[in-house]
Amino acid sequence: MRTLVNSLRLLAVIAVVAAVLGQWLVSSTLPAYNPFNFFGYFTIQSNILIGIAFAVTLVAAARRKRADLGVSVLRGAATVYIATTGIVYNTLLVGAAVENTVPWSNDLLHKWIPLYAVLDWLLFSDRARLLFRHIWWFLLYPAVWTLVVLVRGATDGWVPYPFLDPSQGYGVVTLYCIGVGVTIALLGVLVVGMSRLRLVKV
């Protein structure tokens, strides 16, 4: 079972690299390409983070060590972020028209990788038991990301997603931010709860 799980996680890492690289190869050829914009998307960052989390877990497994608390917190946080990407995209952004999107990459980044990451966390037992106070750590990165995006939206006009566009009014943007923040907190509760389950022993 451990070999199967490690193989699935390795495939997930490869999928993340392929999907991000596939979209970057197209986006980087555009006249308006800006690396800070491309890598500023929560989608890209959350996929990179889950890829790193799986890679770190694979290294721990190669050393025949059970994932310690730090690794589990990293993987749990990354699971929250990638699940948020999947939920937000498939509720708020699924109908949004985005030019130069690579379809297969888009599906991997917004659908299949989030789905696998959640199932991986739910099913496999090789993770430490997390505490509810870890949810505060889960919220730190999204809060910083949101602050940076809002500052950029107010200064240079760039926002990664339509619901963060300040032109619709900061009241509306604030409501969206609160909604996403609550979603992340609730996902954190679920991830912590799942860490106490041992459905498939690895």
Tens digits of residue pLDDT in 53-98: 999 999 988 887 666 899 999 999 999 999 999 999 998 877 665 6
- The one-letter amino acid code at 79 reads T
pLDDT digits (tens, 9 = 90+) for 10-34: 999 999 999 999 999 999 999 989 9
% pLDDT > 70, the chain: 96
pLDDT score recorded for residue 134: 94
Mean pLDDT of 106-113: 96
pLDDT score of 97: 57
Burial of 17 (0-12, 13-18, 19+ CB in 10 A): middle
Joined together, the tokens standing for residue 139 give: 């919220």
* Whole-prediction pTM: 0.93
Closest CA to 62 of 5, 14, 130: 5
Beta-bridge partner residues of 124 = 200
> What pLDDT, in 10s, does the model give residues 114-125?
999 999 999 998
- C-alpha–C-alpha distance, residues 172 and 7, integer Å: 44
User: Largest Cα–Cα distance of the chain, in whole Å?
Assistant: 53
